[in-house]
A and B are shown apart, each in its own frame.
Chain A
Amino acid sequence: MSGVWVWIENSNGAVAAISREAIGVARTVANELSEELVGLVFGHQVSDVADAAFDLGVDSVIGCDDPTLAPFRVQAVGPLLAQLVQEREPSVLLLGDSTRGNDLAAWVAAELDAGLVTDAIELKVEDGTLKATRAVYANKLLSTAFVTQGLQIVTLRSRAFPQAEPTGGSGSAEWVDAVVAEDEIPAKVTGFAAKEGGVSLTDASIIVSGGRGVGGPEGFAPVRELAEVLGGALGASRAAVDAGWIPYEHQVGQTGKTVSPDLYIACGISGAIQHQAGMRGSKIIVAINKDPDAPIFSMARYGIVGDLFQVVPALTAEFKARLGK
């Protein structure tokens, strides 16, 4: 068994951000194992993606360009990847833990009876084994998990690892045929509504969140404005979501999204344990709250005690001035 494989998720000819991170991690792993780094490019009209993969530092590309592969369906991509693994026996398969990456990893592990570790937030190589750190028990504890035999499949949490940088590398991909035909794929995709505008929470390097303290749907306006000035995403606590002030897709926390931005600004959020569970991985946390005893301050790096309706607009104005906006 040899070779570090990384699945490169793509849409409209572009490499997904989470796969840039995966390629970066995979490069390090391949170097430490002294094995070849192989990028897997599956989709339709994906030759640009293969070129981008070489530029991001893979040694070779196995590609499959077929209309059955776009949009992504696990019943089309799964059998292809499983067959390639069986034929060529890589030692490691890395995927970003996106919705599709999670599906593909689980399908392939079940098909091949292989070991799988999901949602790694740190990864190191010890004696040829990938040791993943991952959050368990509602993100309140950590575990070190690893595959004990055979192919090691690991998925990587979004934004937990730095992205691979362009290297200027190039090469020619090896193109293989799809393994299932359209009439053998039971699931048919009949529609797709792209998420509208705004930065997605899981990809965001800056998140500004509002909680019950914003007081109502209009109260999100200053929070949203700060997010926009910073080019960040808008988050929310469950209290704000349950009150109907903002849609669920913005919820951060145990029953919302788990995020790990560089900067997380919590406005009018008390910092309940279930909220913490979703944002604890943020690099720098700023809390703005009028209650000096709010638990959010105990996990924040910087705090301002005050009324968010005064502090947040002042902060927006200051950033606007500094960023020349």
Chain B
Amino acid sequence: MKVVVCTKQTPSTTAVFSIKNGIVSWDDPGGKPNVVNPWDEYAIEEGIRLKENHGASDVIALAIGGEESKEALKTALAMGCTGAILVSDDAFAGSDAVGSARIWAAAINKIGDAKIVIFGKLTIDDNMGVAAMMTARKLGWTPLTFVSAIKSISADSITVERLLDDGKETVTAPLPVVISVVKEINEPRYPSFMGIRKANRAEIPVWKAADLSVNGGTGAAASKVDWSHIFAIPPRVGSVEMIEGDSIAEQVKILVDKLFEEKVI
């Protein structure tokens, strides 16, 4: 059984962003400009566990993006994925969520024989949270989103627990499935020293548009969404008012008065 994990390179969580003429750039005071999308660490970890505990033969990390996305794939390899593939073509640039799902579906079909595809819940840069569901639909497979535990897997079915807004749901579905995972599912491991050495030597194959049979349009021309206008968050109006007083009792009294005035109680 093959497992595919989809992972993206995103700015580090401490990155400081700036925008000029609608172009977003960032750097990181800690010197870590790009990382694996934090939510995807759980997807990668779960994929590796399927190999360790459920006899998956291959765990293949898949990314769509530029050359720099190889860094995220190398992290996935260093953690323990058995293979990695980068899908990269100028023709794919500017795809909207549906366009991306068409590309994932084509790549997953080309990998062949995958029974479980794992996505993270959300990418922190585009913040859409729809990739797993859309890819499932494009593949015609069952989607299982917000998975917080894989309860059991047999040759032809899977049972998972899903973390919904109002509780935990247990669902059983026949394979193949596309799942997205939430943080509760596991504790991602750190890449081992050996893993990092192996990953650095790995040759990551790059698939172009011509290598895939994508069903439907991709790239900016086929996109039905415009998100080009990006801007900084306006600073919060007014600065903090520090509540002083002779005693704590007096301070909290003033604060409570203010909060009633603000009508938030």
Contacts and interface: CB of A to CB of B under 8 A. Distances in A.
Interface of A: 11, 71, 74-75, 78, 98-100, 102-103, 105-107, 109-111, 113-119, 134-150, 186-195, 200, 202, 205-206, 230, 248-249, 254-256, 262-263, 273-274, 277, 280, 283-284, 286-287, 297-306, 310-311, 314-315, 317-319, 322-323
A142 B228 CA distance: 11
B168 A142 contact: no
Interface string B122-154: 001111111001100110001111100000000
Contacts of A202: 165
Contacts of A194: 166-167
B137 A98 contact: no
B98 A113 contact: yes
B1 interface: no
Given A107-B137, A110-B134, A303-B242, A99 B127 contact: no
Contacts of A100: 164-165
Contacts of B162: 99
Q: Find the residue from B227, B256, B265 having the highest chain A CB count within 10 A.
A: B265
Interface of B: 11, 13-15, 17, 19, 24, 26, 38-39, 96-98, 101, 124-130, 133-134, 137-138, 142-146, 159, 162-174, 183-184, 216, 223-227, 229-233, 236, 238-243, 248-249, 251-253, 255-256, 258-260, 262, 264-265
A109 B255 contact: no
Interface of chain A: mostly helix, strand, loop or mixed: mixed
B98 A192 contact: no
A186 B232 contact: no
B265 A230 contact: yes
A173 to B, nearest CB: 24
B170 A248 contact: no
B233 A148 contact: no
A299 B134 contact: no
Nearest to A102: B129
B188 to A, nearest CB: 11
